[in-house]
């Protein structure tokens, strides 16, 4: 039997936690748990999720020690793996991230554009604090991050700490998902080159059982992308990220957003209120069907797949955000990229690209420039770099909009951005 691991969830009060519990139960023979520690700064959410977790595990007959704590250091000490799933400022901050850019006629989205920028400014310092606590109190532990924007966070943590860090996103599985939807092909049979950044990536050289997909198979899979026009996909012969719609269909997606009465964040508030009412019901010991409306698909499978690969020293193919280190020659070595990697107990190593799709080099470079400036601005509390970051982003690039918008973002988030408001 494989060695049992001690797993900690920081941000355990997330509504996504039951996804992870379900996957942990399904993997109990290959990734057994010795202890599960739940940590959050919200005592009420932690109380509810702790109760649900104990009922869920008992309901599936899984005997695991479950610990809850508000103390981050206590949660970190003794853990083999630490999963981070935090949202600094909660959904209230997310709604500001959506609404403020829309006032300026710009996309309001929680990871892309000005909304993702605001979220990064809040999240980077918090994640660096967690990483430094791990370095100090448990340096052998792995941190597996699902907090967004995960690619920008990976760059910040990689540049400013030495912690063992895996930054993940379920989007790395989407091309395989499309082949499964189109043909029922299992994910384990599918491989592809994966080029780009988190939420700005492209999959190509797609293989099924070590053979290239046929033109007909590729065209059929392209029909399941949905968010990006099939004509673009066929011309590029790459499967784009869902988030590429914000670049390739900028006008249409913005119009839709401005015409929709509620933002996604406002919708999520209602969903989460109902979810936590369900989680708090003593009679409930199964994952609610409503959780499917919350989003975040493939979260648990991706995270636990990487954890299992490391814990069991089993070579595993996975898409991870890692330092570039020459994989993409026109990006800095310490820039974070999202790419296919080989994962095992020795770490995470990017796989060699078969080629680099030149049609999207410019877009990837521009967004990476924005990301790097955002990391610097967040760490330094530097308003000039924050403005330059917004000017670098292809969805903004307008000083007359960026300057007042930045002032509003900073003031709205003042309590959560002390680095930008030094005391006298």
Q: Which residues are catalytic?
A: 243
Burial (0-12, 13-18, 19+ Cβ within 10 Å), 93: buried
Measured CA to CA, the distance from residue 86 to residue 264 in angstroms comes to 18
| Burial of 366 (C-beta count, 10 Å sphere; 0-12/13-18/19+) | middle
- 40 neighbors 12 (Cβ within 8 angstroms): yes
Alpha-carbon torsion, ordered 313, 319, 325, 329, to 10 deg: 150
- Give the C-alpha separation, 415 to 277, whole Å: 29
- Residue 404 CB neighbour total at 10 angstroms: 12
* Of 339, 335, 336, nearest in space to 356 by CA: 339
- State how far the Cα of 51 lies from the Cα of 405, in Å rounded to an integer: 42
Contact predicate 97/266, CB 8 Å: no
Closest CA to 47 of 268, 274, 283, 276: 276
Q: Name the DSSP letter for residue 286.
A: S
The first and second tokens of residue 29, run together, are: 């023979």
The whole-angstrom separation of Cα 15 and Cα 40 is 12
Q: For residue 253, which of 397, 107, 104 has the smallest C-alpha distance? A: 107
CB 49 within 8 A of CB 13: yes
71 SS3 class:
coil
Q: What stretches of 289-382 show up as alpha helix (H) in DSSP? A: 299-311, 361-380
**249: Cβ–Cβ under 8 A, 6 or more apart, which residues?**
227, 228, 229
């Amino acid at each position: 039997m494989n060695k049992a691991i001690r797993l900690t969830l920081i941000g355990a009060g997330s509504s996504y936690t039951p996804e992870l519990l379900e996957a942990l139960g399904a993997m109990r023979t290959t990734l057994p748990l010795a202890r599960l520690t739940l940590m959050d700064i919200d005592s009420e959410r932690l109380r509810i999720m702790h109760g649900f977790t104990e009922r869920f595990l008992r309901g599936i007959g899984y005997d695991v020690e479950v610990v809850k704590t508000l103390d981050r250091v206590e949660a970190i000490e003794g853990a083999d793996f630490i999963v981070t799933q935090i949202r600094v400022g909660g959904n209230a901050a997310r709604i500001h991230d959506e609404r403020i850019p829309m006032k300026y006629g710009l996309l309001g989205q929680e990871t892309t554009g000005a909304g993702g920028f605001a979220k990064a400014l809040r999240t980077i310092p918090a994640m660096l604090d967690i990483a430094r606590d791990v370095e100090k109190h448990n340096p052998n532990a792995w941190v597996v991050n699902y907090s967004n924007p995960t690619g920008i966070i990976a760059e910040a943590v990689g540049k400013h700490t030495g912690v063992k860090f895996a930054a993940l996103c379920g989007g790395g599985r989407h091309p395989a998902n499309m082949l499964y939807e189109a043909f029922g092909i299992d994910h384990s049979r599918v491989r592809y080159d994966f080029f780009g950044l988190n939420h700005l990536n492209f999959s190509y050289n797609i293989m099924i059982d070590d053979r290239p997909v046929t033109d007909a198979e590729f065209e059929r899979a392209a029909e399941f992308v949905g968010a990006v026009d099939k004509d673009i996909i066929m011309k590029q012969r790459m499967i784009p990220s869902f988030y590429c719609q914000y670049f390739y269909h900028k006008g249409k997606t913005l119009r839709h957003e401005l015409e929709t009465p509620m933002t996604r964040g406002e919708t999520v508030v209602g969903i989460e209120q109902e979810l936590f009412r369900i989680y708090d019901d003593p009679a409930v010991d199964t994952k609610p069907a409503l959780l499917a409306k919350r989003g975040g698909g493939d979260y648990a499978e991706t995270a636990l797949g990487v954890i299992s690969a490391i814990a069991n020293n089993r070579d595993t193919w996975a898409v991870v955000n890692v330092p570039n280190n020459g994989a993409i020659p026109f990006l800095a070595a310490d820039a974070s990229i999202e790419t296919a990697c080989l994962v095992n107990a020795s770490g995470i190593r990017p796989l060699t690209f078969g080629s680099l799709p030149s049609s999207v080099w410019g877009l990837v470079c521009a967004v990476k420039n924005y990301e790097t400036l955002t990391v610097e601005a967040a760490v330094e509390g530097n308003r000039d770099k924050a403005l330059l970051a917004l000017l670098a982003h292809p969805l903004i690039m307008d000083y007359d909009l960026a300057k007042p918008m930045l002032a509003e973002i900073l003031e709205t988030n003042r309590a959560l951005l002390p680095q930008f408001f030094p005391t006298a």
